[in-house]
Chains A and B, each alone.
Chain A
Amino acid sequence: MALADRSGRPPAPVASYWRRHQDQLIPFLFVVPALVYVGYFAFYPTFKTIQYSFQTPILSFTYFNYQSNVQSGLYSWISNTLWLTAGALALQFGLALAVASILNRTFRGKTIFGTIAILPIGIATVVAAFTFNQIFPGTGAGYANSVLASLGIAPVYWLAHPWMALLVVIVADSWKNTSLVIIILVAGYATIPRALYQAAAIDGAGPLRQFRYVTLPGLRGFIVMALLIRGAQEVNIFQLAYIMIGSYPQLLTVQVYLLWEGSGGIPYLASAVSTVLLGIVTVFIVIVIVLGGRR
């Protein structure tokens, strides 16, 4: 509880300030190591990236890093990244809502199903990427084509078209990350009183209208938070896409990696793309802060 002095008296000397506020100041001191750590390892590097993005190797100011990347296709990398994000979020939330609503019921085998549904959270991204590459390779082979062949369908070249390539990455990413959304939505379901469903049923609402008028409003806060977390992580998708589809179509993160790899330790060009990435993530961060402030 807040002990801040709201009486509007003039500021007191340091010692008395400490005495009056030590209930808040001492806990704050406990938090300081973590703040120093994230300040140095998260916020300072973030600031450095923005600074690098406007620098030449002789440290003078320039827009060249951005101009050069615009000519190489920066806008298409942005749009590929955003389409991937939108598609992956749509699939993950569809799947997660289905799984969470099943886990909200009682049936035999529920515990096992709950465990199965969160197993992918433990699988390393690079392992998931390789496995899905074996399911959807660009060569016309792969496990998905084995299944199609047994149904008499001709092999599909999964990476032949950029839309198709983004789609298989969306499927792979949703496999890996839907678990997180499920966990958050299950927590949301737990906050909805059962009585609301009973009342809705008595009022004649079927399953669909119960979902629309009871479940969705009850889950709203959880859905928004999960969307923001996953949205920011989705924009940062890197190895999964790189292992599965390489650079076709190109994403912002993969481009940052390739520019950095080829730079021999000179961060300026890569930092311009990094800063664009940061800009997109900042949109999600601002929404988090604004929504939080309104609570």
Chain B
Amino acid sequence: MTATATAPGSASARESAAAPVYRPRRFTLSNAGLYVVVLVLSLFFLFPIYLIFLIGFTPQSYTLFAARPPLIPPALTWVNLQTGLSVSSTPFLPSMYFSLEVAFFVGALAVLIGIPTAYGLAKLGSRLAYGLTTVLFVVNMLPSITIAIPISVVFIKIGLYGTAISIGLAQELLALPVTVFLLVGAFQGLPRDLENQARVDGAGRFRAVYGNLVPLVRPALVAAFLLSWMLSWDESTFALILYNPAASATLPVNIFLSFTGRGSPVVGVAFSCIATIPVIILTVFLQKYLKGEDLAAGVRG
């Protein structure tokens, strides 16, 4: 249980009432050192993202083919994106469509399986719930490439090889655990009486769960869907091992192929820009849902 909300009158509420009110401190000489460190770290985190777009919008003679590529673009161009995303000569449209198909499948399946799993875990006795959580946690640690090869052997046999469903089913292994951890927290945050009340009013267990509880955890569901969507959008190991070279591949797989000598780098550059825009927006949006307790499978110190 993560009862992090501070109840009025609890120890920490009293403590913060007694302590002086903290206000964000302005820039002063005494915290100048802090701001220098913050600035350096921010540059470290932002610089590669800047480079993705710098390389995307600067003529290649100043980037890929320059001995001393400049950090500030001497000229800007649309040519890279036009060449890389050319509908007639690159796999842009089918690849984009395939990526979207896989990502929406992964997001939807995560929510579909995640709801009953998280509800069950929230209701189970702590020892059993702990064991099952550990199972999901272990799934997250298994090497993708180790799992992907036997899966692809099976999918070749049953004719699912290279389909969006087959890649989505494999990627779900990464999305499901984090979805479940997120939703368990949400379910546990609901008052116990809500479900009992619905049951007393004559709702069956399914109606109580889907009619009364699920609507209350909607923000967490949206977050879980988007997080799963994003994991799939970025994922490339399952997508690489399980794609069918004769059919479509996801954007990250095409980026991988173009940077490992099996395609034009300009395609990779253009695809990288396109693939990066939605995930930057999603990360900012999802920030408040990315909780350490969920990502570490409920560690409590």
Chain B 152-178 near chain A by CB (<8 Å), digits 1 or 0: 011010000000000001101100100
Task: State whether B63 touches A134 (Cβ < 8 A).
Answer: yes
Chain B residues with Cβ below 8 Å from A99 are 41
With A124-B252, A288-B137 as known contacts, state yes or no: A183 contacts B142, CB within 8 Å.
Answer: no
- Of all chain A residues, which has the CB nearest B68? A146
Beta-carbon contact of A28 and B128 below 8 Å? yes
User: Hey, which chain B residues are within 8 Å of A242, CB to CB?
Assistant: 260
CB neighbours (8 Å) of A12 from chain B are none
One of A134, A225, A243, A253 near B299 (C-beta < 8 A) = A225
User: B135, A126: Cβ atoms under 8 Å?
Assistant: no
| Chain B interface residue bracket vs A | 35 or more
B139 adjacent to A30 (CB under 8 Å)? no
- A142 on interface, CB distance cutoff 8 Å: yes
A contact residues, total (Cβ < 8 Å):
115
| Number of A-B contacts defined by CB within 8 Å | 320
- Bound-state CA distance A141–B21 (Å) is 52
Contact B142 A46 (CB under 8 A): yes
Q: Decide yes or no: A116 and B290 within 8 Å by CB, A27-B120, A141-B68 being known contacts.
A: no
Q: Are B236 and A124 in contact (CB under 8 A)?
A: yes
Residues of B1-37 whose CB lies within 8 A of A: 4, 12, 15, 19, 22-27, 31, 34-35, 37
Q: Which residues from chain B contact A288 at a C-beta distance below 8 Å? A: 134, 137-138, 141
- For B122, the chain A residues whose CB sits under 8 A away are 27
- A195 contacts B15, C-beta separation under 8 Å: yes
**Contact of A86 with B by CB under 8 A:** no
Contacts of A98 in B (CB 8 A): 37, 41
**Is A260 in contact with chain B by the CB < 8 A criterion?**
yes
Given contacts A41-B151, A113-B42, A131-B51, contact A126 B141 (CB under 8 A): no
Question: Which residue of the partner chain, among A1, A43, A118, A278, contacts B287 with CB atoms under 8 Å?
Answer: A118
Kindly specify which of B81-89, B90-98, B217-225, B274-282 makes contact with the partner chain.
B274-282
Write out the residue numbers on chain A whose beta carbons fall within 8 Å of the beta carbon of B64. Answer: 134
Q: Decide if B246 is an interface residue (CB 8 Å cutoff).
A: no
Decide if the interface of chain B is mainly helix, strand, loop or mixed: helix
Of A67-75, A159-167, A269-277, which stretch is located at the interface? A269-277
In the bound complex, CA of A130 to CA of B251 (Å)? 14
State A206–B256 Cα separation when bound (angstroms).
49
Residue A292, interface by CB 8 Å: yes
B-side contacts of A271, CB under 8 Å: 149-150
In the complex, the answer to whether B173 meets A188 with C-beta atoms within 8 Å is no
In the bound complex, residues from chain A placing their C-beta under 8 Å from that of B150 are 44-46, 48-49, 52, 267, 271
Partner of A274, one of B34, B44, B146, B234: B146
Q: Are B117 and A34 touching (Cβ within 8 A)?
A: yes
Which of B15, B23, B66 sits near A141, CB closer than 8 Å?
B66
A31 and B121 within 8 A (CB) = yes
CB under 8 Å from chain B, chain A span 251-295:
253, 256-257, 260, 265, 267, 270-271, 274-275, 277-278, 281, 284-285, 288-289, 292
B71 at the interface (CB under 8 A from A): yes
Shortest Cβ distance from A27 into B: residue: B123
Residue A208, interface by CB 8 Å: no
Once the chains bind, are A24 and B151 in contact (CB under 8 Å)? no
CB–CB B48/A38 < 8 A = no
CA distance A113 to B153 in the complex (A): 45
Contacts of B127 in A (CB 8 A): 2
Query: What 1/0 flags go to A213-229 for Cβ under 8 Å of B?
Result: 00000111110011011
Can you list, as one digit per residue, whether each of A229-257 has a CB less than 8 Å from chain B (1) or not (0)? 10011011011001100000000010011
In the complex, how many angstroms separate the beta carbon of B138 from the nearest chain A beta carbon? 5
CB distance from B103 to the nearest CB of A (A): 12
- What residue of chain A has the Cβ atom nearest to residue B132's Cβ? A31
Cα separation A191 to B67 with both chains bound (whole Å): 50
Interface centre among A109, A122, A235 (most CB of B within 10 A): A122
Q: List 14 A-B contacts (CB under 8 A).
A: A26-B205, A34-B176, A38-B176, A123-B49, A123-B276, A124-B252, A127-B255, A134-B69, A183-B295, A187-B296, A193-B15, A274-B143, A284-B141, A289-B134
Which 6 A/B pairs are nearest by Cβ-Cβ distance?
A187-B292, A30-B120, A122-B283, A27-B123, A2-B125, A122-B279
